[in-house]
Amino acid sequence: MTRTLPLRFGYGTNGFAGHPLDDALRVIAGIGYDGVGLTLSRRHLDPFAPAAPARVAHVARLLDRLGLSVVIETGDPHLLDPGRAHQPGLMSEHGREARIDLVVRAVRIAADLGANTVHLCSGHAPASLTADAAFDRLAASCERLLTVAETHGVTLALEPEPEMFVHGIDGFEALRARLGDHPLLRLTLDVGHAHCVEPRPLIDCVRKALPHLAHVQIEDMVRGVHRHLEFGTGEIDFPPVLRALAVGGHRGLVSVEIQDDSPAAPEVARRSLAFLRDAAPLREAA
């Protein structure tokens, strides 16, 4: 008999893009979630706003009152460039400093909110770079960011993203090895992404990820189609995935990542938590 601790479920604020942040946090807490993946954005928490420090202090107080833990996410596709998604990135020829600055701001915001994890992605490699040169540039950017992360005691949790330079767990492991297995560079596993693009079975992806895992994003998905779906509308068998996370000792959030700003967001969040609780393992599993 293996004793497991219950998984802690969160919900991504990017699923509540039509709500003011304070309202979204109250709804998410009221539904019963343990935490949030808080995406920095112009709509919610703008890291570039002149009043950002006061806003961060307000959000910290609200999170504390609501009893929500938080992971800071930097995946808003148009935060830095309204005309190009996810640009510039950590390997860009022009504008790379803007992406580095965003993640630095995210680390500082995380520290002010009492969050111990910042999510980030590699971004796309410029066509002008060879794969080796892109890898070198990504490693150099991450090395700079890890210096800031060390100062604040915050973990950087890199998410492999379909079609980006680091799009699978193998790529993350290569980057971490290049950076000396730095303890503050860890992994965000997006369960849907793994099902979508990884060459190995999903449950093997989860087990491979566990030693590096800081954060989990979760949604349903169809193999080969990068579209975040509500639970039960894709192909994923969730009970084995959740059991592997629980038995493997994952103590970070398992955060729903359904990016939908429709008026139905609260209902989607309610259905999602009910689904996950039903699919999650009991406290003791054979």
Closest of 271, 270, 253, 195 to residue 227, by C-alpha: 195
In the predicted model, is pLDDT for residue 269 greater than 70? yes
Closest of 162, 172, 115 to residue 138, by C-alpha: 172
Percent of the chain scoring above 90 in pLDDT: 94
How many other CB atoms sit within 10 Å of the CB of residue 86?
20
Q: For 95-128, what is each residue's pLDDT tens digit?
A: 999 999 999 999 999 999 999 999 999 999 999 9
Output the CATH code of domain 2-285.
3.20.20.150
CA distances from 218 to 70, 207, 272 (A): 16, 15, 10
The ranges assigned to domains in the chain are 2-285
Identify the pLDDT of residue 5.
79
Q: For 146-181, what is each residue's pLDDT tens digit?
A: 999 999 999 999 999 999 999 999 999 999 999 999
pTM, to two decimals: 0.96
Identify the pLDDT of residue 286.
38
Query: Quick check: helix, strand or coil at residue 116?
Result: coil
